[in-house]
Structure 1
Amino acid sequence: MSTRRTDPVQHPRKAAEAVRAFNHATRWASGGHPGIAYPGTVYRAVGAFATLAYRLPQAFDQIGTALADLHTAGHLTADHGTPTEHAMAVSEALREAEQHATAMAAALERAHNASSPLGYSGPIDDTDDDL
């Protein structure tokens, strides 16, 4: 039994909630104003998402390793089929997710780099906190 005091699942749940909050904060306002008004915000947001994406492959690998260890120790059962069938399916899907996360991180890094030289030349809204 684990001696950890914190359920590790709370962390990806918080990350999912943070992305949801970002989505709400950046959607277009009712007055037709964009949720992101300045390219510097784009740069910082893409950079933050790239950092998140770069960390996902390790998380998926650690989940797969933990499941493999449970399977090897004989600690898995299955409601239908065999534990081996399900453990293999999870492992394959996690490897695929690792590959997609790696590709996503690389794409976000390209977007981050491409947004770096962009600046803003329009009017500045002094009430906007998106600076």
Structure 2
Amino acid sequence: MRVGLRKYVHVNLRDIEDARFKDGEEVSLETLKEKGVINPSGREKKLPLKILGEGELSKKLTFKARAFSTSAKEKLESAGCSLTVLPGRKKWVKPSVAKNLARAEEYFAKKRAAAAASEPASA
């Protein structure tokens, strides 16, 4: 067991099955809160959703979560569910570092364009 702050709100497939979702319904952090499957409090209110693979699912649902465990992904894909992985938050970068990264990207983009332009001439 890993000690420390949790990074996700975890929900098992068996909990989703018990929540009595209908075929084709969307399973997301909001719908799980509405059905009473999860009741995050404090810091957990800001955490993204992770679907875990304990249990089985008998319905074809649409999932929207930040992460899926390997076993959950396999079970959901075999059940014909559609999975959407939500994007994470971008890491904050100091403005001066962001400026330097943008300059570097611009510099290397020009280099790549110049290399691509000269390549057909030499071939």
Query: Same fold by TM (over 0.5)?
Result: no
Q: Report which of the two has the higher share of strand.
A: 2
Q: Which TM-score applies when normalising by structure 1?
A: 0.26
Which structure has the highest helix share of the two? Answer: 1
| Structure number with bigger Rg | 2
TM-score when normalising by structure 2: 0.28
